Structure 1
Amino acid sequence: MAFVAPPGYQPVYNPRIPYLGPIYGGLREGMSIYFQGSIPEDITRYFINLLCGESESSDVALHVNPRFDGWDKVVFNSRQNGSWESEEKIRDMPFSKGQAFEMIILVNSQGYQIKVNGQDFHTFSHRIPVERVCALQISGDVSIQTINVIGVRRPVTAGAHLPPVPYSSMIPGGVSPKRTIIIRGMVPYGADRLSVNFLVSRSRDIAFHLNPRLGEGVVVRNSMTGGRWVAPITMHPCTMIVFVSQMSIRCGNQKFKVFVNGQHLLNFFHRHQPFTEVDMLEIEGDVQISYIHF
């Protein structure tokens, strides 16, 4: 039976701008919104709004507005009852014309912490309770490739988790042919490496070690038996360099198959026999996990 993820975990790819869409389940402290996009050469300005309703006239809890107008700046604000409040102008421009960017809005107890290309940029203090936010609006001179809400409000299907890293869990029922494990999350800008291990719990043998080394630009695949690593296999990681929204690891009779964002990335032929002894999953390194489905 095919697995369909709940709507709150679905990333948005290549949305048409202007964009207006819901944030399923709303926001809360500890969540974050990830944007991957690019700025055109002829940009004037664009904005991102966190809305308290699903219409353009709704209250705005956060307004992020980069302006390229000769006095380049980013303006932050909020709007209540149809009236804009006091602006916070940051006369610094972290975005570059003609360049790609990554932006993360992290929700904390103080406000919205904005990071651009891995660097802290500004924190906008809460003026409206974050629990009222239920929609996202984007308009202006910008191209967006990915929007992903990390750490959704609550799991809505069996098998869903919001786990810390490092992560370790038994795989209910163990690994079997045609079984697929789905991992969703975010690899932040500037991350170095992460690892996903499929283990035999009783021996601690690692049947499949998947190790994207982002700083080196390779993915290492390996196994460990009796405390010793076997000769690794490496390859270029393609779509895993900066951001992973979904990784699926499917077990077959001969090999593990790894897919990233629906695209086949690599295979790893079984070295541990029988592979059906694999019954544990471990995840470590530079990754923020939003969802795991066994």
Structure 2
Amino acid sequence: MAFIAPPGYQPVYNPSVPYVGPIYGGLRERVSVYIQGVIPQDITRFQVNLQCGEAEGCDIAMHFNPRFDDMDKVVFNSFQSGSWESEDNVQDMPFSKGQAFELVIAVTAEGYQVNVNGRQFHHFAHRVPLDRVSALQISGDVSIQTINIIGGGQRGPQGYPGGMGVRGGWGGMGYPGSNLPMIGGTPNYNPPVPYCEVIPGGLSPKRTIIIRGMLPHGATRFVLNFKVGGTEDIAFHMNPRVLEGQVVRNSCLGGTWGQEERELSHNPFLEGQYFDISVRCGNQRFKVFVNGQHLCDFSHRFQPFSQINTLEILGDVQLSYVHF
């Protein structure tokens, strides 16, 4: 199996728009650009460019330009030597005004596969060599929550996998520490719920599990269970309850539930919103980050960690991907 770096330990959260930032290590096959955001009600258009540099007027390998007008459409194009080339016009609008979205641009040998909200939208053939693409630019009527580069084994500065630099007034990364390990494996994209998969090798100190998805409208609750293989024991149970605005944490060992923990500084789980959960196993506790902010700690009630080797996800949730 090819080595794949874990996704997004250094995402960009809530950048200002217009945004431009480098893609450390460049693009290659199996790399994906992952963007979450919200479309405003008064939108006219926005654009996402994969560029050959950060300077204004540089070549653009792929120009992605949704236009909200009398004939809603999405324009794809490239820009080389100071001139726009032939447009690909798609007479289909995958975005809705006032709604959150998830945009994934997956690099293939033939081009860029663009998916919106889990649906394949358009494939744009390569016109510019991949090794020239070095930056991402976003502008127009759009609010961005998360930008991340995943897959392909690229490293950002200070050895971060998949990291991105920033321009445009945003500097903090706000994510788990820089000593996160490199872990092999391929992300499981758009898995169905209920979800239950073995964590290869089980948990170990500093190992991090990434879960991304969204809460559909009408969602009331969902559950993450880190289970002990071969038993029904749950070493760590995390239960966001949307209507109550709480995230309940607990364990269930030997058929008995332990003491619930509910205290939180904030509740990041909202209907119709995408989320990004990072669960890191430490020596004394689990550390949970949501959307780049520390949410809670949960002291270990079960050891050895290696026997905690199954992740179960249940309830009102749509998954974008899970990565061990």
TM-score bracket, shorter-length normalisation:
0.7 to 0.9
In structure 2, C-alpha distance between the alignment counterparts of 1:93 and 1:238, rounded to whole Å:
29
Aligned to 2:226: 197
In structure 2, C-alpha distance between the alignment counterparts of 1:79 and 1:243, rounded to whole Å:
34
Aligned to 1:3: none
What is the 5 A alignment of 1:127-166? 127-154=127-154, 156=159, 159-164=181-186, 166=197
What letter corresponds to residue 17 of structure 1 in structure 2? Answer: V
Deviation (angstroms), 1:168: 3.2
1:259 aligns with 2:289: yes
SS of corresponding position for 1:75: strand
Gaps of 5+ in 1: 1-5
Give the TM-score of the pair, scaled to structure 2.
0.67
Give CA-to-partner distance per residue, 1:37-75, whole Å, 9 cap, x none.
122222221110001222222221111001122221110
RMSD over aligned Cα, in angstroms?
Answer: 3.9
Deviation (angstroms), 1:11: 0.7
What letter corresponds to residue 161 of structure 1 in structure 2? Answer: I
In structure 2, C-alpha distance between the alignment counterparts of 1:47 and 1:54, rounded to whole Å:
15
What letter corresponds to residue 197 of structure 1 in structure 2? Answer: F
Aligned to 1:279: 306
Give CA-to-partner distance per residue, 1:120-173, whole Å, 9 cap, x none.
22111222232322100011111111111111533547830241355634469x
Does the C-alpha gap of structure 1 residues 183 and 256 become closer, same or farther in structure 2, counting only changes over 3 Å?
Answer: closer
In structure 2, C-alpha distance between the alignment counterparts of 1:118 and 1:214, rounded to whole Å:
24
What letter corresponds to residue 267 of structure 1 in structure 2? Answer: F
Aligned to 1:182: 208
Residues 113, 122 of structure 1: 8 Å contact kept: yes
Residues 33, 105 of structure 1: 8 Å contact kept: yes
What letter corresponds to residue 37 of structure 2 in structure 1? Answer: G
Residues 28, 153 of structure 1: 8 Å contact kept: no
In structure 2, C-alpha distance between the alignment counterparts of 1:94 and 1:245, rounded to whole Å:
25
What letter corresponds to residue 278 of structure 2 in structure 1? Answer: Q
SS of corresponding position for 1:41: coil
1:97 aligns with 2:123: no
In structure 1, C-alpha distance between the alignment counterparts of 2:280 and 2:46, rounded to whole Å:
34
Residues 9, 149 of structure 1: 8 Å contact kept: no
Residues 235, 252 of structure 2: 8 Å contact kept: yes
Aligned to 2:118: 118
What letter corresponds to residue 259 of structure 1 in structure 2? Answer: F
In structure 1, C-alpha distance between the alignment counterparts of 2:57 and 2:242, rounded to whole Å:
44
Residues 49, 63 of structure 2: 8 Å contact kept: yes
Deviation (angstroms), 1:194: 8.3
Aligned to 2:106: 106
Does the C-alpha gap of structure 1 residues 210 and 51 become closer, same or farther in structure 2, counting only changes over 3 Å?
Answer: farther
1:248 aligns with 2:280: yes
Give the TM-score of the pair, scaled to structure 1.
0.73
Residues 57, 82 of structure 1: 8 Å contact kept: yes
1:208 aligns with 2:235: yes
SS of corresponding position for 2:275: coil
Residues 18, 139 of structure 1: 8 Å contact kept: yes
Moved more, 181-190 or 15-24: 181-190
Deviation (angstroms), 1:18: 1.0
In structure 1, C-alpha distance between the alignment counterparts of 2:26 and 2:214, rounded to whole Å:
22
Residues 65, 76 of structure 1: 8 Å contact kept: yes
Deviation (angstroms), 1:77: 0.7
Does the C-alpha gap of structure 1 residues 207 and 12 become closer, same or farther in structure 2, counting only changes over 3 Å?
Answer: same
Does the C-alpha gap of structure 1 residues 267 and 57 become closer, same or farther in structure 2, counting only changes over 3 Å?
Answer: same
In structure 2, C-alpha distance between the alignment counterparts of 1:31 and 1:77, rounded to whole Å:
20
Does the C-alpha gap of structure 1 residues 43 and 35 become closer, same or farther in structure 2, counting only changes over 3 Å?
Answer: same
Deviation (angstroms), 1:21: 0.4
Deviation (angstroms), 1:184: 3.9
1:64 aligns with 2:95: no
Matched residue pairs, number? 269
Gaps of 5+ in 2: 1-5, 161-179, 189-196, 314-318
